[in-house]
Structure 1
């Protein structure tokens, strides 16, 4: 049946419609109160359609529809289909599947709190999503300061713990209740976990009341140590609350949503206001061509709140499609279990809140645009480098290797990675030289490149056979270009390894420090890049970063060696205790700041040995 024939038989009922292109791919999903009226509106005269709809209909070859019982069911189905198919002409949140969450493992007797990017139905509670990994880790660090929950991965169950099990250092510094050693019961521990959930929900006033109640209850039972711990925790929570900005005289919980737009890129800013105080904010890039603010924010509400852990009673919006509002309110109210109001304020305090969110959205969008501009410059520098070096392909991933030592002692190497002309710190790797004695850069580079490419070959084979995931692998990604700090000798050592291991197809160059000359295999004359070229600046940045990373690691090992030598001088500290101390306190400063109790809590230590270390380091 042709689309024209289908139009004659469209039902006057609520449902979802899908447009497909000539290849059968779904390019748009929409919902309608009346499928008959809504779908027919797309087939009007082209002059009456918006640019976005004209572009859609120029590609649409066919459509289909699904009838639902009511508009809310259509809304839910539309949301699921957009998430599943990612149609070209729909608005959608960018990379929503990769956002981090905080997971509270309520399925365990003694739950943990940690970061995850996978949401599964396992009885845990998930808080998020957070668009910034930094923000989620800051929140986790704050929780660790406020609540002494366990961070270990032991499988603990009620009645299994033993009082003979020695608590770790976290217990002795007040960062864990040590359920592993029977220091706390299941109910008391889970009461603390409930308080963490209150905090993450933004219900800090309820949290203060709960902590106050538990503190008074402990005092009435003459459990003064527990009461004191709860008092300190209560003071810490109140201090956090004092630092939160009061945004509203109302004590209601609400979200404030606004956006900034530029061409086909939109950034939505959401403020989380709980009890009248701003407890946090988040931002989302929304992709979609030529959409109005009203369309973007309506789509955002439908996609964001379907996976949000907490939905407040009121959501303030800069814009909202008035025809969609009733159905979305009913849908969100059903998820929340209580009424949810979507409000577009035009004056007063609520309008000021929306304006403040919009101002922050504009600033955030400008940062994103600057970031994109920087990425574009990085890609341009990579393309220029390819032209200057005569490479067949643009080197979007470049690896640079550098060696650092002091007269051959504590020799280390760094592998620094730039992707699209920008540092990728998560891909950096460092090596402790194992097989080379003395200052020998050639042999050291040979060892490091052998280890690097051998690991790459092994990991790629394991990934192909399903024995290893790309997330677990550390060396499977191959560079488009290798740079070594040095001249012809260093380059020769590297090329020999790459040929032996089957990676000769990857181009490699040596970059000499003094004259910024590039040495290539098979070329007698070095390559001199123009002083003002972006390609040279890229290589200088890469080389300097590799040098910094190698020197930093070298200094860490040298400091560790010196600390090890110091510990050898302390009576009662043998190899086992020395290793345990170095693991617990990696630097001299950290160890010198430790109390006798903290030193004694290190595995293998006792009070006498701890006192000896304390007196030695404190003089």
Structure 2
């Protein structure tokens, strides 16, 4: 960007609505009529919303004047605005880039933010290694490797990796095992690896198999089929029947893989076809990915448009502008981490996104492709007919197939919307049941649950899981290592966790329900702790497990149902931990039963997983401490070369001793301890 200017005045001390509007309007009078980005802030200075504008004055004026005409969404946002900043840009394209970067970095609550791609798998080819291999990873790094994906369809990754691992003899072991083995592994014996770890392998032959795999992952199956067939015939003519058989199997596998991908177009074109479904609160998107004329995957997204930008002077309808804002934001965020293909078709946006913004989007896509290592220049189309005209072949069959794919993308978007609405309905029903069961005044949108996990007082940990709108919010989960408790004392551990959870009083965010895994004793402990912290307003309850107790002197079995334990409060809502709490039975199969037990079980799973991880890690540490002659320097050297100590069991001990410079008898002791 050529030039940026930032303006921010001191925010007003008064917090009344009229005082804030007076301050905001006065600040607005000093803003130039230029394009740029604006950032709305709350009372604490946190960013609420990031927006862009062709004219900052007109856009911001629409927020702070004519408030009585605002929609409920806009009014809710304006009520929280205490200040704003602006960043002036040279043109709309710079505004688009800056807005996208600011949203991604600050994650404002009122902006659209797509799910992060790191949750989707990539296929990685580590071409920097002497003998590259193909693996599935969850995160893309700038390490010089080639990445394919992200793949939103897990079955697609499994299918590709099955073909690669079964029919292309590339290495599959870790770098540590590759360097330390004494003989080729079983993959070599079953002809699934050439065995370069110990055998003299022709690098050209290995590179041929690797390049074929890269071509398959790139969607160039047709080229590879003819290439493999040619190599197979040459191998057969040279009487190299073993190699010919391997290539025959590869040919068959790639052919099968190609057949499984729906051949949709007569031309081998690369295109993303975007479909959408719009409602007053939710926009659903589906992106059909076509590479070399074949459908290779699809992505679906749900976007809740929480905030609406107000109507500017002289405009009658805001729906089109709202759609344009969300469409543009979706496209920018979607292609921020993904290379755009040669063509992008979004026919539903034909009367929404104007021709000027199309040029801005094409420039944006080119810049992102360049940044991600691709030199492609993508063309953005809003009209199917214009896209067909750009192709060399203009046959009716191709036109009909494109039309079919457009309909398919829009139907998938509508299906995603319906699926989301059903899930929302289920969650709302469960939350409503819980609200009615507990006689709450409002639906509990945020529920936190805590659980303690230990083994005979060692490696005691706690989990905090968070459910928002009736569904897990895994980004909000937390793990606690209990520090102040010696031995097994669940009550002391619970007190520590509650104290640490609410220690930040300046930025305190209280859940609607604080759920404790436990009964009356646990509820009393939490009650005393919250009372001592001055947080008696926190609504909490316990969930006691169903139990079966058999009396060996009797043939009957005493049982108790799942039940909740509610602390007793005084007339003014004050906690009374000394008074016996109320117990209510949860009816099995009811909405409140399903929701509370799901949250409790998730907290238990999260806690016990963390506990086992720490116990395993410290068990290995304690093994090393028991070995005589293994000092700090030797331990460090050993762990640096062999991060996973369990690998030592399968390695040649003499070679381990030579690499680490640790005497053989000490290595033998370590392995014996690991085995036991």
TM-score when normalising by structure 2: 0.56
Which residue matches 1:31? 52
CA distance, structure 2, for counterparts of residue 178 and residue 453 of structure 1: 53
User: What displacement does 1:57 show?
Assistant: 4.0
| Match for residue 84 of structure 1 among 105, 108, 111 | 105
Q: Which stretch has the larger CA shift, 367-376 or 131-140?
A: 131-140
Asked if structure 2 preserves the Cα contact closer than 8 Å seen for 1:110 and 1:156, the reply is no
- Does the 8 Å contact 2:543/2:600 carry over to 1? no
Q: 1:380 to 1:32 in 2, by over 3 A?
A: closer
Deviation at 1:365, TM superposition (A): 2.5
Deviation at 1:79, TM superposition (A): 1.5
Does residue 327 of the first structure (1) align with residue 360 of the second (2)?
A: yes
Which of 37, 58, 67 does residue 16 from structure 1 map onto?
37
| Correspondence for 1:595 | none
Cα shift at 1:121 = 1.4
Residue of structure 2 equivalent to 1:313? 343
Q: Could you say if the C-alpha distance between residues 48 and 172 of structure 1 is closer, same or farther in structure 2, counting changes exceeding 3 Å?
A: farther
The 5 Å alignment of 1:502-581 reads 508-512=544-548, 517-518=560-561, 530=587, 533-534=590-591
Q: Which residue of 2 aligns with 1:500?
A: none
Partners of 1:379 and 1:183 lie apart in 2 by 65
Matching residue within 184, 204, 212 for 1:167: 184
Question: What is the DSSP-based 3-state SS (H/G/I as helix, E as strand, rest coil) of the residue aligned with 1:181?
Answer: coil
* 1:399/1:479 contact within 8 Å kept: no
Correspondence for 1:239: 256
Which whole-Å CA distance do the structure 1 matches of 2:32 and 2:38 have between them? 12
Shift of 1:397: 5.6
Q: Root-mean-square deviation (CA), in Å?
A: 5.3
1:89-104 correspondence runs (5 A): 89-104=110-125
Kindly indicate whether the alpha-carbon contact (under 8 Å) linking 2:25 and 2:64 is maintained by their aligned counterparts in 1: no
Shift of the alpha carbon at 1:177? 3.6
Q: What's the counterpart of residue 379 of structure 2? A: 341
Q: CA deviation at 1:302?
A: 0.2
Residue in structure 2 matched with residue 118 of structure 1 by the alignment: 139
Is this contact kept in 2: 1:264–1:290, CA < 8 A?
no
With normalisation by structure 1, the TM-score equals 0.60
What is the 5 A alignment of 1:369-380? 369-377=421-429
Q: Write out aligned runs for 1:120-139 (5 A).
A: 120-131=141-152, 136-137=157-158, 139=160
CA deviation map 1:343-383 (0-9, x unaligned):
12367544432221111122223223333444445556777
Kept in 1, the 8 Å contact 2:49–2:111? The answer is yes
Aligned to 2:128: 107
Deviations 1:469-500 (A, max 9, x none): xxxxxxxxx993369xxxxxxx99xxxxxxxx
> Which of 200, 203, 210 is 2:220 aligned to?
203
- Residues 88, 96 of structure 1: alpha-carbon distance in 2 compared, 3 angstrom cutoff: farther
CA contact (8 A) 1:258 1:297 kept: no
Give, in whole Å, the separation in 1 of the partners of 2:544 and 2:300. Answer: 41
Give the Cα separation in 2 of the matches to 1:6 and 1:239. Answer: 66
1:431-450 equivalence runs, <5 A? none
**What is the CA distance between 1:126 and its match in structure 2?**
2.9
| Distance in 2 (alpha carbons) for counterparts of 1:381 and 1:47 | 36
Distance 1:224 1:141, change over 3 A: closer
Aligned ranges 1:382-461 → 2 under 5 Å: none
Q: 1:156 to 1:37 in 2, by over 3 A?
A: farther
Change (3 A) 1:538 1:343: closer
Instruction: Return the alpha-carbon distance in structure 2 between the equivalents of residues 543 and 33 of structure 1.
Output: 50
Classify 1:244/1:453 alpha carbon distance in 2 versus 1 (closer, same or farther; 3 Å). Answer: farther
Distance in 2, Cα, partners of 1:257 & 1:209: 32
Instruction: Indicate if the aligned counterparts of 2:546 and 2:559 stay in contact, CA closer than 8 A.
Output: no
Correspondence for 1:267? 284
Pick aligned residue for 1:354 from 406, 415, 433 = 406
Corresponding residue pairs, total: 469
Which blocks of at least 5 consecutive residues in structure 1 are unaligned? Answer: 388-393, 402-416, 425-449, 465-477, 484-490, 493-504, 546-582, 584-619
- Partners of 1:192 and 1:52 lie apart in 2 by 57
Per-residue CA deviation, residues 197-218 of structure 1 (Å, 9 max, x unaligned), is 3333333334334434554565
Are the counterparts in 2 of residues 79 and 302 from structure 1 also a CA contact under 8 Å? yes
Tell me the secondary structure at the aligned position of residue 286 of structure 1: strand
The answer for the alignment partner of 2:295 in structure 1 is 278
Report deviation, 1:155. Answer: 4.2
